[in-house]
Amino acid sequence: MSDTPAIELRDVRYRYTRNGPEVLKGISLTVPAGTITGLVGESGSGKSTLGRLIVDERRPTDGHILIEGRHWDRNSRKNGMRRSVQMVFQDPFAALNPYLSPLAAVTEAVAVADRLGRAGARDRAIELLTQVGLSGAVVERAPSSLSGGQRQRVVIARALACRPRVLVADEATSALDVSVQAQILNLLMGLQRDLGLTILFISHDISVVNHLTDEVAVLKGGVIVESGATEQIMNAPQHAYTRTLLAAFGHTPIPPRVLPC
């Protein structure tokens, strides 16, 4: 873990069209390396837009985005910066090619990332799939026969093929059932621990963010109204909006209830 932040946003502004409304109104945020940082807010607050700017799918209208101290520029593709930031989306049903098995999908990603032939890429693909908890016959099946949780694992394994330093997860567990959501949350915590991965976890679900993240930023109307250590924000929110959001989730700082084993 270095002192250079994994993601640094400096007064980032964005509008979709030249004369359109500003959807991000000067975002400054630092995501420390090796942390899971939550980005919370309601629909339309600009969470996903910010996620897309961070992975350089779009360029900000104004301001700067630094990944491990480097700016996005025309060399980003060549110097490996592009690969170091990967994204996991909400809908695991839309994110996979329906004609490629998990193994084929991840093999393709490894082949591109490591400049290997299919045969050479296959071993590492199997390794990655095992790492996310998929092995055996399931990796050869068609995506249509996979559950939402299994699909999301494939998406994560594919993202890991590029050996990213930063993962942006946009509502990655929102479409999943509680029992399956737990599998994916456990997996993300494991990746943080084992690979030292930095994860920006975008979500509207306070309970999940509270559980998973080290730091959290609260976005409202394109502005970050509050950010800091998750525990601090959950226990002593300073901004009125944060309090409303926490109240809506019935989140009161309670001692953890231990369920019988």
Binding site for other proteins (CB under 8 A): 42-43, 147-150, 177-183, 185-186, 189, 204, 206-208, 210-212, 214, 230-231, 244-245, 247-251, 256-261
- The encoded tokens of residue 225 equal 């109204």
Q: Where are the beta strands (DSSP E) in 16-114?
A: 22-31, 36-40, 62-67, 70-71, 85-88
Q: How far is the CB of 48 from other proteins (least distance, A)?
A: 14
Q: How far is the CB of 215 from other proteins (least distance, A)?
A: 12
Indicate the residue among 76 and 147 with the shorter CB distance to other proteins. 147
Indicate the residue among 142 and 248 with the shorter CB distance to other proteins. 248
DSSP character at residue 111 = H
Measuring CA to CA, which residue among 205, 138, 67 is closest to residue 216?
205
Q: How far is the CB of 118 from other proteins (least distance, A)?
A: 29
Indicate the residue among 55 and 197 with the shorter CB distance to other proteins. 197
Indicate the residue among 82 and 204 with the shorter CB distance to other proteins. 204
Q: How far is the CB of 42 from other proteins (least distance, A)?
A: 4
- The answer to whether residues 200 and 165 touch, using CB atoms and an 8 Å cutoff, is no
Classify the phi-psi angles of 136: left when phi > 0, otherwise alpha if psi is within -120 to 50, otherwise beta.
left
Q: How far is the CB of 250 from other proteins (least distance, A)?
A: 6
Q: What CA–CA distance (Å, rounded) separates 233 from 228?
A: 6
Indicate the residue among 79 and 244 with the shorter CB distance to other proteins. 244
Return the number of other C-beta atoms located less than 10 Å from residue 69's C-beta.
11
